[in-house]
């Protein structure tokens, strides 16, 4: 955790995390009603440049970003499970007819094939593998006649 901030510094950082501008965050944390915008901007900029204030902002921003990613980004396991469901035709998915009517249907053969292809690539099922264990004899053969080499080339 970063160094302890004053209550006003913490309020400033929290306002920034909420999406307020530096000016608005400063005004909400400090008594700046009578200050000109230019003065508030300068003070807010100096405050944000302070190491512990900036560190706290980055700490909270990373936490917010991490939480958002956990809520919105599918994990590798989620993706593989969904590809498996599609490839094996295990569940129905929403579809629409030409009139906009919704109905459920299983994935088509091309959709299932593509899902299985992606799974196969993930697990390396479609690569030619050559396994080599041990030593191999390498023989270099000098079979170029002496007169055939032109040193000027």
The answer to whether residue 83 sits within a structural domain is yes
What is the distance of C-alpha 150 from the center of its chain? Answer: 57
Judge if 22 and 38 occupy the same domain.
Answer: yes
Give pLDDT < 70 ranges for the chain: 1-2, 129-130, 147-153
CA 141 from chain center: how many Å? 52
- 45-67 confidence digits (pLDDT tens): 999 999 999 999 999 999 988 88
Q: Are residues 81 and 68 in the same domain?
A: no
Question: Which pLDDT value is given to residue 151?
Answer: 59
Give the global pTM.
0.48
- Give me the number of domains the chain comprises: 2
| 35 in a structural domain | yes
Instruction: Assess contact for 107 and 84: CB atoms under 8 A.
Output: no
Residue at 89 is within a domain: yes
Same domain, 11 and 64: yes
Position 149 scores a pLDDT of 61
Q: Is there a contact between 119 and 83 (Cβ–Cβ < 8 Å)?
A: yes
| 149 within some domain | no
Residue spans of beta strands (DSSP E) within the chain: 93-96, 102-105
Q: In this structure, are 59 and 91 located in the same domain?
A: no
């Amino acid at each position: 955790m970063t160094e302890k901030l004053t209550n006003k510094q913490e309020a400033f950082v929290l306002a920034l995390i909420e999406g307020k501008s530096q000016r608005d965050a400063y005004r909400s944390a400090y008594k700046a009603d009578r200050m000109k915008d230019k003065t508030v901007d300068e003070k807010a900029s100096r405050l944000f440049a302070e190491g512990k204030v900036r560190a706290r902002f980055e700490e909270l921003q990373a936490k917010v970003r991490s939480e958002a990613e956990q809520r919105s980004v599918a994990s590798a396991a989620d993706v593989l499970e969904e590809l498996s469901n599609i490839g094996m035709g295990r569940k129905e998915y929403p579809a629409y007819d030409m009139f906009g009517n919704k109905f459920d249907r299983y994935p088509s053969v091309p959709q299932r094939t593509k899902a299985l292809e992606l799974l196969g690539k993930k697990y390396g099922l479609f690569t030619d593998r050559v396994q080599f264990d041990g030593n191999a004899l390498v023989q270099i053969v000098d079979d170029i006649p002496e007169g055939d080499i032109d040193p000027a080339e």
